Structure 1
Amino acid sequence: MKLPIKTLLVGFFALVLVGSIVIISAQKPAPRGFTKLEDGVIVKVEKPYAGGAGNVKLQVVNDQIIHVSAAAGDTFSATASLMADPKKRNPAWKLEEKGDELILQTAVLRAIVSRSSGNVRFTDLKGQVILKEVPTAGRSFVKQKAGDKATYSISQSFESPEGEAWYGLGQHQQGLFNYRGTQVSLLQQNSEVAIPFMVSNRNYGLLWDNYSISRFGDCRPFEPLHTLSLTGADGSSGALTATYYSGKNADSVFLRRNEREIDYEFIQSLSKLPAGFPLQNGRVVWEGSVTSSFTGQHSFLFSSGGYLKYWLDGKLLVDKWRQCWNPITTLVQAKLEKAKKYPVKIEWIPDGGESYLAMKWLSPIPDSNRNTFSFWSEAGDNIDYYFVYGSNMDEIIAGYRELTGRATLLPNWAMGFWQSRERYKTQEELLSVVKEFRQRKIPLDNIVLDWFYWKPDQWGSHEFDASRFPNAENMIKDLHEKYNTHFMISVWPKFYTGTQHYDLFNEKGWLYKQNVLNNQKDWVGYVSTFYDAYNPQARELFWKLMNEKLYSKGVDAWWMDATEPDVLSNTNIEERKKLITPAVPGSSTSYFNSYALENAKGVYEGQRRTNALDRVFILTRSAYAGMQRYAAVTWSGDIGARWNDLQNQVAAGINFSLSGLPYWTSDIGGFSVEKRFENATGANLDEWRELMTRWYQFGAFCPIFRVHGQFPYREILHVAPADHPAYKSMLYYNQLRYRLMPYIYTLAAQTYHNNYTIMRPLVMDFPNDKAVLNIGDQYMFGPSLLVNPVYTYKARNRTLHLPANTGWYDFYTGVYQAGGQKINAAAAYERMPLYVREGSIVPMGPDLQYTGEKPADPVTLYVYTGKDAAFTLYEDEGTNYNYEKGAFANIPISWNEANKTLTIGKRSGSFPGMLNNRTFNIMWVSKTKALTQNNKPAATIRYQGESVSVTMK
């Protein structure tokens, strides 16, 4: 068949453009000042202000999502998005001209853009404003260079009414839940994860499509301390009095001097410390007073390793510890009056070798910005954001995943218990732990081998050190066949010079070389660097080597550590950029935050090419928008092990979940501990055991349940003897986790099939209860379980809120309480307060030692009456991808409160190995019928896939 020459030419030019970075020119506008596109419109701004946008593009993604792009000039960069899915959707929409405005309307939403200014607002179909850009100077483009490329620092501001709350934005360690009135730094580092997706309680979300260092909220940069008016302890002006001590005693003064700033944040800034000052054993105290030129809420931001205390006006506002080599950020706010002197004292005990401290501040938000928020990014050719609308937060999360990819379903064993340690040093040590778990009947599904299983000078070789792991393949075989345990291994994107794998990457030019040129040695003592994960060929080679050396031996899952990437810890930002200069997409300034996404992509796609059957499973220390499509779990990094660290993980986890990524976990017990816990006795041992117990209770109700940390060892048997309350409590929650597996695995399946979120802040399920807007230390685990972690030492009760418009049953006793009230709940050492929502069906399976031990039969259905209830029990093969092809089954279960009838409906779907005949035991829980220790089922149902009902008597 002959094709017209015009068709051939069109096809030729289309091929030329595929896979390339192209620039789309804003087509020459029609006299009306805009150009209609297949999916939206480009507006030539008639009256652009200085530093604003010259062109604005609106594209309809679907009924609930609008993509807004703004360009300073006449062109839009079409560089492919790393986070957004480019699939073609062909939504229905219409365009209307109305005076100065163009209105794009979908079935549920309007996006309205001004032709004169380019400003955008979003309304519902009744015209009620959902969100609008700040109309005057709301956009900003400031010319700069990123590497050798001209680009802009960019910002976009939005109006925000009083009472609006902001959530999501990744995982942060300040203990904040509602971010209104603060600044969120979107900068990847150990224990801080940047996800540029914000969710509002006004039922919309914003996905900021940018990969550079960014800020959200109040985006003004923090200022150095000396921009406050400082007075020393001796009354001198312009600085605080800094006293350096060579020891802990008051008479060990090393040096006293005046200091205008506290800036020892990075390796490079440690040179500012007094020469010869002994960080290992020293102490520093800054004293004097501060005076501000403003009245209102001031913010003080610390970055600290070691012990830090901060007093303002005699009040202790900060009391933190963090391992010296991995500083933590702490944000505190305090109201100050203009021109008033406030006494201040900062005490820092470095507690180790290289240790870090910095203090900055920010003045009150100006009145003109009080009801606004912004996104700011260091580098961007365009402003790019997606507005996501929904009737509830679940719909907003669904919109995020429509944009960035569906969350894959992890293998069922990933929902079980993982044991890990920093680190199992030998093959025998690792196997002996698993053997002991099985002998003691402590349920376990996954054992993790952390870093340094290789020879000392062979990081990146993926080779086991034969002197310590003489037969790794047999070790893995024993784990699988003898102990029914899965095996996860640590794989870093890091390579020592001189290794064969380093040479393979180096000869292709696929390594970041600056660290090697600097001859910079890591903490082990060798020179290393990371591979360029942005290069698709480099990703393929990375997987190829993992496959040849590890996956082929039977490794089940991957621990992708240091994926910020952490080439050199605690170096300053400019040096970090030099160390990670990408070879493929652009400058490190422009792509600073997204390394973990591309690294996970290579492993996920590589394993699926190698083995299309077994589910991929990745644990990663950093993440970015879109990570959920690569079977990735994120953990909260190398956190400390103090009670405030435990508290902070709750808010970190639920905000991470509201960022659209469903799988999150923390190191139970914290990663690093104070020296007093390392060989603890007496009161310190008592506190350590209680901290582990409380963290374990919380961890059992996280999407992923795992223990990890440095010395002391974190295995239950090393925490306490079997007759101790700590041991008993940890064993109880481990066993409970396995009994809840039918409930938990169903929730995991819903993350794939229905874009569900497992770890749910209360604002998701109780949006009309205004009391929950700022509650960041309670959450729902699925639709039914209200989790209330205890994070105070020796607490035997805790204040908590029972959300309104429903009643609540005590999980352990079945005792009923009305919602909409604050209570002081009992919190015995061995139990965390746990409540079940009225109108719930909670399925529980048999006791298990591992998820694959036996089918979930019988299943006990706990029916919490008082309201209608429903739960759909999901099952599939558990470890393969046949669920993507429809191989799964659902059993709908419902409770009718009016006629007191429970119905187990007709099963839909099937899969190989499915139980056709099964048993359901029924337990009624009502306001008048609590649980007892030896409750027996009220009814037993033999189920064969057809609908069957039973009435409560």
Structure 2
Amino acid sequence: MLTYLSLGIHLARLILISITNCINQLSVLLFMMKMIFLFVAILFLLICPVMPTMAAQVDQPQITRNATGVSLLFDGMATAIDQEVVLDVITDQIIHVIVKPPGKSVAPSESLVIVDTLRRTAGPWTLEKAGDYLQLKTAALTARVSLLSGAIDFLDEKGQTLLAERRRDATTFEPCAYDGDVFYGIRQHFAVSETEGLYGLGQHQNGVMNYQGRQVTLLQYNTTIGVPFLLSTNHYGILWHNYSITKAGDIRPLLPLSAFRLYSKEGQRGWLTSTYRDKNHPETIRLSRPESDITYRYLTDQSRFPDSVDLASSLVTYEGQLESPYTGLHRLHFTYSGYIKVWIDDQLREDRWRESWNAGSFEVALDLEAGHRHDIRIEWLPDGGQSYLGVEWQRPIPDTDTGTFSFDSEAGAGVDYYFIAGSDMDDVIGGYRHLTGRAPIMPRWAFGFWQSRERYKTQKELEDTAMEFRKRQIPIDNMVQDWSYWREHDWGSHDFDTTRFPDPEGMVDRLHNNHFHLMISVWPKINEASSVYTRFRDKGWLYLRNIYDGRKDWIGPGYTSTFYDPFNAQARAGFWDLMNEKLYRKGIDAWWMDASEPDIHSNINLEARKSVMQPAIGSSVRYYNAFPLENARGIYEGQRSTDANSRVFILTRSYFAGQQRYAAAAWSGDISSRWHDMKDQIAAGVNFSMSGTPYWTMDAGGFLVERRFHNPNTEDREEWRELNTRWYQYGAFLPIFRAHGQFPFREPFNIAPEGHPAYSSMRYYIGLRYRLLPYTYSLAGNTYLHDYTMLRGLAMDFPQDAQVFAINDQFLFGPSLLVNPVTQLGATSRKLYLPRGAGWYDFYSGAYHRGGQTLEAAAPYERMPLFVRTGSIIPLGPELQYTDEKPAKEITLFVYAGADASFELYEDEGTNYNYEEGKFGTITLTYHDKTSELRIGAQRGSFEGMLTRRRFDIVYVRPETPQGADTPARVTQTVTYTGKEIHIKLK
């Protein structure tokens, strides 16, 4: 600074000398003015560059260290918005970040996701300044806070950046209110590597595996589940601690169809041509009109259809051209019900169907060049008088937004998330469960086969069906009773209609005596006409807005109904007391918690849904997504308080972070019985599992059925059989294997006759499911003990192979089995990728294939391509009719050479919680490839009924000696095991 002032003084002296020399000249006055101006300008330019540096030296946040972390208060700084940044150290690998405006009066959200008994296990950590950063360092992680902006970078122990916040700005906190609740709309952007894979976020039906550059809405809706946990191949996760509806990823608003330049089919600018035809006589045009936007998503949009047209009997086409002002990858987002086909430039891009009351969604990717026209044709056949169709689009991601992943939540007290680092993706999920709770081990019977239909209308139907399974010797463990076992008006009472179910206690006893379990459907819904309505209303346990709105359901004449409030602890207890009184005391084994979004009505808009939901703890906007979490909590805590040592099992249509601790599994809702929906379930289920929530299933066969299958011709009947066959093949390798759906009936013997390849294949995979029980149940034990994930995206085990990141139709079941469902009608082979980093054996034949290649694999009608990773040990048990028919005294160990292998065989009593007290047994199996040695470790632990003696038949599979499940296996060696360690040299 002194140097700059000295220079200024020297310039002033030169100017004065010049003035003296020119004193006698007439231009002296003008000259003096010019020199003074020059002096001031030079002085300003010299001093100005140092001003920011001077400000930075004094403009610093206020830093406060405490026992568990640090807070930084940015207030009135030129380089940052006003904010308080709090870092709270949970473990060496987990840091909780909270950022909020300073001194504001917004109440924090109640914490429902994080366990009450959260353990802080962090070792010593340090805090130090380094230039313009404050660094908080643990043994495994560094959180580096910019002292200029407050943005946080997360680095691993080697100093490599894992994730970085983008600088917060005026859009981070948007003041808002609803129903008297004051909060902020919350937005946070992160800089991510464009080469990493991003997964989790719940269950979504768009077929997307890797969420890089994609938009996903975290929302509870039939077939859609929002779980705010993101998992990266760079071995970190973000638990976005927020309960409101949230957009994640590319959060830019979707644009209406009219944002394109549109042209009619005749070439006029400004619209597409919509034509309403008689669907039975397509040559008959009822109406043609211009439409610039297609926005018929909800009941309230139905009035925009032409009054003069009967939609239920119409075929609607939208035709013309579209032209984008942008160049790059566009995405068309469709919401639809009925039949829809989409052509772009005469290429059929989608052909889908969804029943009218349950709209689905899909995306079409388009690579467009600005200013170029493209033909578009949408052919829509509505399915009923009320049908739904909407089209929006997302423009290409601008260069400034590439490498950005964002969260945008409707309501919260501030930015609130947990950053979790790990040595691999399983380790990160372990961190997630450290925060949100372990996943209990489901009862062993739950890993058998389940049979359901919509619905068994009488007690006799259910019992006769169960006995038919036993008669045909098709293995099965669980029968499922769907809804409407109550009297029509009495929804919510949980009372059986005695005209159809005259002896429910006797029914349950007979099922138990024949080695069945019974799951039953329970809705959080209560009709106004129900026998329990007054009790729940008078105690203040109901959302009454739906009653006063007079909104009716679709049963019989229609009944006004509403939902109970699980955010109210007394209501939760009261709901369980009703279940216990009417169902659990009758011997019901498990709970099917349907419509747990809550599904007030499938087709009302979100604002109407929010107006109905009135949680006891705050506004519906703030807590919208947490209803299924609290609903499951009430049932889990209720049953465990009633019967402390009988395992709870809850199957629920909706799910939120932390729900795994309540023994909850999810299913994917009311999907359609179509090939495209079967394929979409693969990415949906895998991403759900990679959200830290390990138990997932779907309706094998699909739920919603086209009318052509009700009374099918020969071609449709054979398609129905093939579709169900392929779906059973896929379902056998999920954590829960369950067949369910609307008519036609879904039992294997009602799908195809004995001797038909469909029947044979379904029998085969049900049987294989039971032989795999030692493998599957061990995975369940590993899930509890070591936070494992049974249903695995390929990136979890092959994070170095970027080719697997976006694969959405293959997955791993456990560490060893590569599952490749067949999702095309008539296919006898399918293309699949064998990840590099391992070799692969055909499960059925033992034929060896190198990794890192794309393969056209055989897929005959009765088999789905299934491969086993080199370095695997797979235990196969005896054939069973039900899971507890006999203990696994004889186990066949398939040992697959090519890499070292390890597998921990887990066993316990199967039905109680004694394993929580350490009453279980494990046997560690290891294989050393270089020496061809198998070690069967000493048995550890104990429990009542544990086997003390068993036989292991070992099948050694090598490239030169292929052996598989469908070949006569040559047992390499047989050993008798008495619990002591055995070393075996394989040949």
- TM-score normalised to the size of structure 2? 0.92
Output the TM-score relative to the length of structure 1: 0.95
2:87 counterpart of 1:55: no
Residue 633 of structure 1, CA deviation: 0.6
Q: Is the 8 A contact 1:52 1:139 kept in 2?
A: no
User: Cα deviation per residue 1:290-312 (whole Å; 9 max; x = unaligned)?
Assistant: 22221111121110000111222
* 2:580 corresponds to: 547
SS of the residue corresponding to residue 670 of structure 2 reads coil
Distance 1:53 1:945, change over 3 A: farther
1:804/1:821 contact within 8 Å kept: yes
Q: Are residue 229 (structure 1) and residue 261 (structure 2) matched?
A: yes
Residues 1:381 and 1:248: Cα distance change in structure 2 (over 3 Å): farther
Q: 2:976 is matched with which residue?
A: 942
Letter in 2 for 1:498: A
What's the CA shift string for 1:658-710, capped at 9, x where partnerless?
A: 10000000101100111111222311111111100000000000110000000
Q: Is the 8 A contact 1:420 1:448 kept in 2?
A: yes
Q: 1:648 aligns with which of 666, 680, 703?
A: 680
C-alpha displacement of 1:804: 1.1
Deviation at 1:31, TM superposition (A): 8.9
Which amino acid is the alignment partner of residue 666 of structure 2?
A: T
Equivalents in 2 of 1:49, 1:510: separation in Å?
50
**Selected match of 2:102 from 73, 80, 88:** 73
- Corresponding residue for 1:530? 563
Is residue 199 of structure 2 the alignment partner of residue 174 of structure 1?
A: no
| Aligned ranges 1:733-752 → 2 under 5 Å | 733-752=765-784
Partner of 1:412: 444
Which has the larger displacement, 596-605 or 366-375? Answer: 366-375
For 1:878 and 1:314, how far apart are their aligned partners in 2? 57
Matches of 1:863 and 1:31 in 2, distance apart? 62
Distance 1:764 1:853 in 2: 35
* 2:518 corresponds to 1:484: no
Q: Which residue of 226, 230, 236 maps to 1:198? A: 230
What do the CA deviations read for 1:712-739 (whole angstroms, capped 9, x no partner)? Answer: 1110000101100000000000000000
Aligned-residue offset at 1:50: 10
Q: Letter of the 2:795 partner, please give it.
A: V
Distance 1:225 1:905 in 2: 64
Query: How much has 1:127 moved relative to structure 2?
Result: 2.2
> Counterparts of 1:765-804 in structure 2 under 5 Å?
765-804=797-836
Say yes or no: does 1:613 pair with 2:645: yes
1:580 correspondence with 2:619:
no
Trace 1:421-432 onto structure 2 (pairs within 5 A): 421-432=453-464
Correspondent of 2:589 among 541, 556, 569: 556
Q: What are the superposed Cα offsets for residues 603-661 of structure 1, whole Å, 9 maximum, x if unpaired?
A: 00000000011000000000000011010010000001111111111111111111000
The percentage of aligned residue pairs carrying the same residue is 51
1:630 is matched with 662
Counterpart pick for 1:508 among 508, 516, 539: 539
Structure 1 residues 182 and 138 mapped into 2: Cα distance closer, same or farther (>3 Å)? farther
- Structure 1 position 139, deviation (Å): 6.3
* Aligned equivalent of 2:552: 521
Q: Work out whether residues 294 and 364 of structure 1, in 8 Å CA contact, stay in contact via their aligned partners in 2.
A: yes
Aligned counterpart for 1:499 among listed residues 530, 543, 553: 530
Q: In 2, Cα distance between the equivalents of 1:223 and 1:604? A: 43
- Give the Cα separation in 2 of the matches to 1:539 and 1:204: 35
What letter is aligned with 1:579?
Answer: V
Residue type matched to 1:538 in 2? A
Shift >6 Å, 4+ stretches: 29-32
| Corresponding residue of 1:384 | 416
| Alignment correspondent of 2:334 | 302
Contact 1:33–1:115 under 8 Å retained in 2: no
Decide whether the 8 Å contact of 2:222 with 2:670 is kept in 1. Answer: yes
Separation (CA, whole Å) in 2 of partners of 1:356 and 1:79:
35
Residue 89 in 1 paired to residue 123 in 2?
no
1:546–1:30 CA distance, 2 compared to 1 (3 A): farther
More deviation, 934-943/168-177 = 934-943
SS in 2 for 1:592: helix
Q: 1:395-441, CA deviations, whole angstroms, 9 ceiling, x for partnerless residues?
A: 11111111111111100000000000000000000000000000000
The answer to whether residue 374 in structure 2 is matched with residue 342 in structure 1 is yes
Which segment drifts farther, 216-225 or 872-881? 216-225
Alpha-carbon distance between aligned partners in 2 of 1:49 and 1:843, rounded to the nearest angstrom: 64
User: Does structure 2 conserve the Cα–Cα contact (< 8 Å) formed by 1:39 and 1:90?
Assistant: no
- Residues in 2 aligned to 1:749 and 1:886: alpha-carbon distance in whole angstroms: 12
Contact 2:922-2:941 within 8 A present in 1 as well: yes
Change (3 A) 1:53 1:698: farther
Q: CA deviation at 1:258?
A: 1.0
- C-alpha change, 1:53 and 1:840, in structure 2 (3 Å) is farther
Is the 8 Å Cα contact of residues 44 and 115 (structure 1) preserved in structure 2? no
| In 1, Cα distance between equivalents of 2:147 and 2:67 | 19
- The counterpart of 1:445, out of the listed 464, 470, 477, is 477
Distance in 1, Cα, partners of 2:538 & 2:80: 44
Contact kept, 8 Å, 1:461 with 1:501, in 2: the verdict is yes
* CA distance in structure 1 between the aligned counterparts of 2:931 and 2:196, rounded to whole angstroms: 41
- Whole-angstrom distance in 1 between the partners of 2:373 and 2:141: 52
Q: 1:53/1:304 Cα in 2 relative to 1: closer, same or farther (>3 Å)?
A: farther
Q: Is the 8 A contact 2:194 2:212 kept in 1?
A: no
| Deviation digits for residues 569-610 of structure 1 (CA, Å, limit 9, x no counterpart) | 11011101111121x221111111110000000000000000
Give secondary structure in 1 for the equivalent of 2:608.
Answer: helix
Query: 1:149 Cα deviation (Å)?
Result: 2.2
Alpha-carbon distance between aligned partners in 2 of 1:276 and 1:749, rounded to the nearest angstrom: 62
Aligned counterparts of 2:605 and 2:182: Cα–Cα separation in 1: 23
Residues 418, 447 of structure 1: 8 Å contact kept: yes
Equivalent position to 2:73, from 19, 38, 44:
44
Q: Distance in 2 between matches of 1:667 and 1:138?
A: 46
Aligned counterpart, 1:829 = 861
Range that drifts further, 585-594 or 880-889: 585-594
Give the structure 2 partner of residue 10 of structure 1. Answer: none
Is the deviation greater in 153-162 or in 418-427?
153-162
Residues 307-346 of structure 1 mapped to structure 2, 5 A cutoff: 307-346=339-378
Structure with max Cα Rg: 2
The Cα shift of 1:47 comes to 5.2
Deviates more, 1:730-739 or 1:891-900: 891-900
Aligned in 2, Cα 1:938/1:498: closer, same or farther, shift over 3 Å? same
Q: Could you tell which deviates more after superposition, 931-940 or 282-291?
A: 931-940
SS at match of 1:801: strand
* The 10-residue stretch of structure 1 (470-479 or 77-86) with the greater mean CA deviation from structure 2: 77-86
Aligned residue number for residue 25 of structure 1: none
Aligned positions of 1:701-720 closer than 5 A = 701-720=733-752
Distance 1:53 1:163 in 2: 33
Q: Is the 8 A contact 1:52 1:140 kept in 2?
A: no
Task: Please list every run of 5 or more consecutive structure 1 residues that lacks an aligned counterpart in the other structure.
Answer: 1-28
Corresponding letter in the other structure for 2:525:
K
Are 1:63 and 1:109, in contact at CA under 8 Å, matched by a contact in 2? Answer: yes
> What is the rounded CA distance, in whole Å, between the counterparts of 1:720 and 1:120 in structure 2?
60
CA-atom RMSD in angstroms: 1.6
Higher deviation after alignment, 167-176 or 316-325: 316-325
Preserved contact between residue 206 and residue 680 of structure 2 (Cα < 8 Å): yes
Amino acid at match of 1:307: Y
Residue 644 to residue 51, structure 1, CA distance change in 2 (3 Å): farther
> Pick from 599, 616, 632: which aligns with 1:566?
599
Letter of the aligned partner of 1:89 in structure 2? R
